[in-house]
Homo-oligomer: A and B are copies of this chain.
Amino acid sequence: MKTENTVIDATESTFRNGVDATALLETIAYLGENADKAQFKFRARNRWIDGSQNEATIDTFHALGEEQSHDRAHLVRADQPALILGKDEAPNPVENLLAALSSCIATTTVYHAAASGETIEEFTSELEGAIDVQGFMGIDPDVREGFNEITVKVKARSTANEQRLRELISKSPVLDVLRHGTKVNIEIESKS
């Protein structure tokens, strides 16, 4: 992350785990002294297509006190398998949630390892989330709509031991949100 007060000379940067560890450490130092620049905002907008199909577009975000743009807009499709009455052209929303958790755990581990001098050689995970669809379907009001439980099995080859890997993983933003929840405000503009 390059900040306005930081000029990174690429020839002097130390890359670790494919991450520019020099830039990462300078960013951490910069944001430690500029808390107002650490207030990031991420966004997605979604358009329903038909039935089980919809598409999210991700293009802008707010970081380091300024509006920012991705190099191009990223699209994320959702669908359902035939068994859940879709056309199976993309993962379904709860599968995309698991994908987001899996990627956040990987990125968090790799970045924190880079910052603290640990080398990651391999990092894979398998996730499974259990859901009783009687909740979603409104069959039983005592059953929750979402996952009752998610299990993440991580396999890593690295200089970090299991305890250290657990510490690194625990810094994952998506893991934090899934474990502890967050406030979600819903505003609705309805037309007939």
> Do A74 and B95 touch (CB < 8 A)?
yes
Distance from A33 Cβ to chain B, minimum over Cβ atoms (Å): 9
Contact of A180 among B91, B136, B146 (CB under 8 A): B146
Q: How far is the CA of A133 from the CA of B178 in the complex (A)?
A: 17
Number of copies: 2
Please, which residues of chain B bring their CB within 8 A of the CB of A80? 107
The yes or no answer to A11 lying at the interface (CB within 8 A) is no
Interface residue A5 (Cβ < 8 Å from any Cβ of B): no
User: A139 — nearest CB in chain B belongs to which residue?
Assistant: B32
Please report which residues of chain A, range 40-60, place their CB below 8 angstroms from some CB of chain B when the two chains form the complex: 40-48, 50-54, 56, 58
- Any B CB within 8 A of the CB of A159: yes
Task: Tell me, rounded to whole Å, the shortest Cβ–Cβ distance linking A148 to chain B.
Answer: 7
Q: How far is the CA of A173 from the CA of B96 in the complex (A)?
A: 12
Q: A31-B139, A91-B58 are in contact. Are A120 and B48 (CB under 8 A)?
A: yes
User: Is A10 among interface residues, defined by CB-CB distance under 8 A?
Assistant: no
5 pairs, CB–CB < 8 Å, chain A vs chain B: A39-B132, A43-B95, A150-B185, A156-B191, A166-B188
